[in-house]
Amino acid sequence: MSKNLISSKSSLKSPKGSAKKQKGENKAKESSKGKRKQIDKKDEEVNLSMASIGHPEIFPLVFTTQTQEIFNCRVDEDVTEENRFKLIKKEDIIEDLKTRAAVSDFHPVKKVVLEYPGEELLVVFDAELQYGQNFYLVATEEAKENLLKLPETAEEEEKEDDENKEGTLEEYVYKPPVCKPWVSLGSEKEVEEESVKDSVSKIKYLISRVRRKFGAPITFTDKNASSVKDSYIECTSYQDKTFSIKLLEKDVGAQIVPKVRENSTQTKWTYPKNAATQYFPREFSDEEKEESLSSEKLKEFITSVFLRMEIALQQNEIMNVFFDDWKALAEDESSYGGKSDVYLKEYQSFTDLHYLKDRTISCVCWHPNIYGIIAESATERLSYEERVNLSGKLLLQKSVILFWSFSDPLHPLLMLECPEDIYCFQFSPSDPNIIAGGCINGQVVLWDISQYEEKLQNAKASAGGIKKTAVNLPSFIQAQQSGTEPPLARYCAVSSIEYSHKAIITDIQWLPDYFEVNRMGTTFENRAEICVQLVTCSPDCSILFWDIRGTKLPVQPLSDKVKEDKIIDVLPDFPATFKHLDLTWKPLIKINLCKSDTSVDYSPVRISLREQHYHYKTPDKVQSLNKREVLAKESPYMEISVPSGKILRALENISTNFFVGTEDGEIVYSDWKMERDSDSGRLISQKPSQTHAIHDGIVHTVQRSPFFKDIILSVGGWNFAIWKEGVTSGPILQSSCSAVRYTVGHWSLTRPGVFFIGREDGNIDIWDLLEKTHEPSQFQSISISMITCIRPWIASAKHHFLAVSDDSGVLHVLEISWTLSHPSSNEHASVLHYFEREVKYLEYYEQRQEFRAKERIEMELEAQRKKTTATAPQKSREQMEEQENMDYMEFLDIEKKILTDLGLVKGSEVFSSSDA
Amino acid sequence: GAGKSRALMQIFSEEIMEGLITFGIPIRTTFDNSTTVQYAGLLQQLTMKARSTVRDIDPRNDLTFLRIRSKKHEIMVAPENEYLLIVIQKPCE
């Protein structure tokens, strides 16, 4: 058992072979150990030994250091874990006991020590406090021996084992297992637990029976169990309410298997296909139509339907059912914009100090196609006498026509050279590159500016201008633009001096492109569809018609041709468009306006034809392109010859009448068809049919309204007048004399009842016939000098301009305000109505005049008659009284008769004359 | 006979165009064939549609007159049995 103690320690080191036994001992020791721990301190009196734990010979002791020193068992010096054992002599212990008595550590084991048989006692160092103290005393010799032996044997065994280990590598000696007694290690308890035992004693039954009854035959019978009571007990099932289990969870196994299926289908592919159908409508043949028409059914149908249709048509006749009153109302409202909206806003003004010094602007024309280009002609501001005086001298500055563009107000764009002062000019409506002008000496001048056309078009996008540019102009054009001199275009042709006017040409106009005139004055259709004819008038009492096409030239000798060629070579920049006309141009028709009674002729200043080509709509670019294609041929005017009258179709509906305003303030209405004089056979012009002397001064403007072809405005002297063609009694409207001379007038292009009058003091009067007819609705001061020309223009839908030129050479361009340029919805109708009213009034006035004249005559006759007839003698008084009495009697008789006839009174009641 | 033709003449004489149609095929017209045929086909269908509309709403009802007012002119259609009388008129001011 003491072996066990040691073996438990050494068994850890030693191999298993020798440790089996020790292990068995260990088990017992371990179990006893467990019990030992529970033991508290024992009494000192009581046996201190470890008997309670199975080791009566072990006595745990505490050795103090003093004791250790005395017995040379100092911890870690004399006695270590390795070397535990200390043999102490019994005599020493007894001596210690005597010396220290109770203090000695051996005091508790005094008895043991005294009774110890041997000489030496073994004290073992208990480092692990196995027995509770750091030392323990072994009381018996046997235990001492055992303890002492064991470590030795263990050591020896260890050594042996080590040696054995080394040895067995080479040679293994088989040792058959040695039978050993079974040592219980506690497993029998488990076995016991597991084994099945009868917990209850088995019941024995002994059943006996008489032997002879064995083997006897047996009969079985059936018996119903339910017949006998209590023969069976059944246990029916019932739902026990106290016991119910809800299946809250269920374990279900599932397996996911992908199901793969293959399927296919065939579809019809639809694709777009072009298909066409041709069809024709069903139609009746003629016979079928006849048949249907005559059928009875149709007759019935017509009779039944006719009434409805008639009603509907009548309704339409009476009034327009679908008229939108609301819309019409709104438009009227907006037209009353207010007076302040009527104005002319200054847009730009053009003047050039170089060319326009001391000059006046005689005529202004807008370019028909290109936006923002305006041309003006400048003439010397000299009176007639001054001109005559200066005529001998050479004028330093040639007269020019200047072209201005909105983009550059300081430098004119182009200059047209003029042989003399140009008093009037006009762009050809069909080809704006052809310009015709009338000179002061009576010649007609033609220009062709085709080569500058591009420049004019690009002027809009010039670099230095106000508008933005996107065009990269080549450098030389830029240089020219920025240069000082605008390009000078020479004129193409002038008319022959002998056949031109003898006086200044005051008005020149192009004939519209849809008709042309021959020598007789009859109108024909214009196949060329371009403007080829002009009409000019001049105070030399004549009106001339010109044709710019080449007439059949007689065959010329070669030398002349060569000369011509040479001349042409000398002037290279001379456009050859009209060289066929140059200096040989003769007018087509010459009309002399002669007064009927005197030999003095009229001196026309302005002419107004009924048929006019109006530029007044926004330029239609498509049209102009077409025209340009027509003129693409070089010098078409030369090639186109005047066709003979037989080929062309005569146009009947062109009016050949015209109005003329004269120098003396008269308005003359005449016809340009030439008559053949019966006597001489020559063509003479017709006498004018009407003349009216309205104006007190020279008539500056005779202009037809752009809206009404038979309404003419004439401005001259100190007043203006509105005429209607066909009304021969006089103007339908005549203004009162104004304080200042009127110099120009022009209808507004967009509003039928509005026109502009320019005055001598530089103001412009804006007249609105619908607003006021006795005074202008608005006037505006434009410049300080006399207004010489007014030209309105529609540049775009939003921009309506008015070009006003004055005497000092400045050209003002004004913008017409919205209200002034946009008519109200029914303005046209209102103005027309107004004119008609005026005409009616005029007629009425005439009638009244006639009536009054008649009346006057009658009254005079009456007065005369009264004078001549003798007066009757006066009757005497008595005779008069008698006469009265007789009258009274007559009256009473009559009264009586009537009352009797009526039956109101009886004969006797009336106081008759016979009773009196 | 005479009365009917006189009535027709009355309608024909105004400044309008007119056509007589049966089964969508023109019988008599005052303007050119192609236009007539076009008007006939289109208006026949429209009249049928209009009539069916009216009768759908109330089966005892029937279409008596159809007027189409457009910007440029007014089309008046009088249907009866299988005939159609079409008048095209410029609207009055």
Contact A139, A106 (CB under 8 A): no
Chain A residues lying within 8 Å of B93, measured CB to CB = 320
Report the alpha-carbon distance of residue A513 to residue A530 in Å, rounded: 5
The pLDDT of residue A552 is 43
What percentage of chain A has pLDDT greater than the value 90? Answer: 1
Nearest C-alpha neighbor of A404 from the set A739, A797, A791, A916: A791
Mutate one of B80, B84, B87, B89 to test the A interface: name it (highest A CB count within 10 A). B80
pLDDT at A752 over 90: no
Give the per-residue pLDDT at A6.
47
Q: Do B4 and A316 touch (CB under 8 A)?
A: no
Distance from CA of A828 to the nearest CA of B (A): 14
Q: Which residue of A has its CA nearest to B7?
A: A306
Contact A320 B1 (CB under 8 A): no
Per-residue pLDDT of chain B (93 residues; tens, 9 = 90+): 444 544 444 444 445 677 777 677 788 788 788 888 888 888 889 999 999 999 999 999 999 999 998 888 888 888 887 888 888 887 654
Asked if A309's CB is within 8 angstroms of B92's CB, the reply is no
pLDDT of residue A687: 72
**Domains detected in chain B:** 2-67 (3.30.450.30)
Spacing of C-alpha A769 from chain mean position: 41
Please identify which residue in the block is written with the tokens 């639809």. Answer: A270
Identify the residue whose tokens are 């033609």: A446
Task: Count Cα neighbours of A175 within 13 Å in the Cβ-side half-sphere.
Answer: 5
Which pTM does this prediction carry? 0.52
For residue B67, the chain A residues in CB contact (below 8 A) are: 312
CA distance B75 to chain A (A): 11
Higher pLDDT, A494 or A915: A494
Q: Which residues of A touch B8 (CB under 8 A)?
A: 302
Pick from B23, B33, B78: CB nearest A309 = B78
- pLDDT tens, position by position, A489-527: 788 788 888 888 888 888 888 887 777 777 777 777 776
CA pair distance A228, A249, nearest whole angstrom: 47
DSSP-assigned beta bridge partners for residue A524: A516, A650
Partner-chain contact A299 B25, CB within 8 Å: no
Size (chain B), residues: 93
pLDDT of B51 reads 93
**Closest Cα of chain A to B50: distance in Å?**
17
Mean pLDDT score, A362-382: 81
Q: Tell me what ipTM this predicted complex has.
A: 0.74
| Cβ within 8 Å, pair A281-B85 | no
Using the beta-carbon criterion (under 8 Å), do B8 and A302 form an inter-chain contact? yes
Interface residue ranges in chain B relative to chain A, Cβ cutoff 8 Å:
1, 4, 7-8, 11, 14, 16, 20, 22-28, 33, 37, 40-41, 64-65, 67, 69, 74, 76, 78, 80-81, 83, 85, 87, 89, 91-93
Span A596-634, pLDDT tens digits: 555 566 667 777 776 665 544 333 333 333 344 434 444
Looking at residue A571, its pLDDT comes to 40
Selected residue with higher pLDDT from A474 and A644: A644
**Residue A893: pLDDT over 50:** yes
- The residue written with tokens 């289990």 in the block is A245
Q: Which helix (H) or strand (E) holds A780?
A: strand A778-781
The three-state DSSP-derived secondary structure of A289-342 is HHHHHHCHHHHHHHHHHHHHHHHHHHHHHHCCCCCCHHHHHHHHHHHCCCHHHC
> Whose structure tokens read 């009526």?
A902
Strands A488-489 and A414-417: parallel
Summary mean pLDDT of chain A: 73
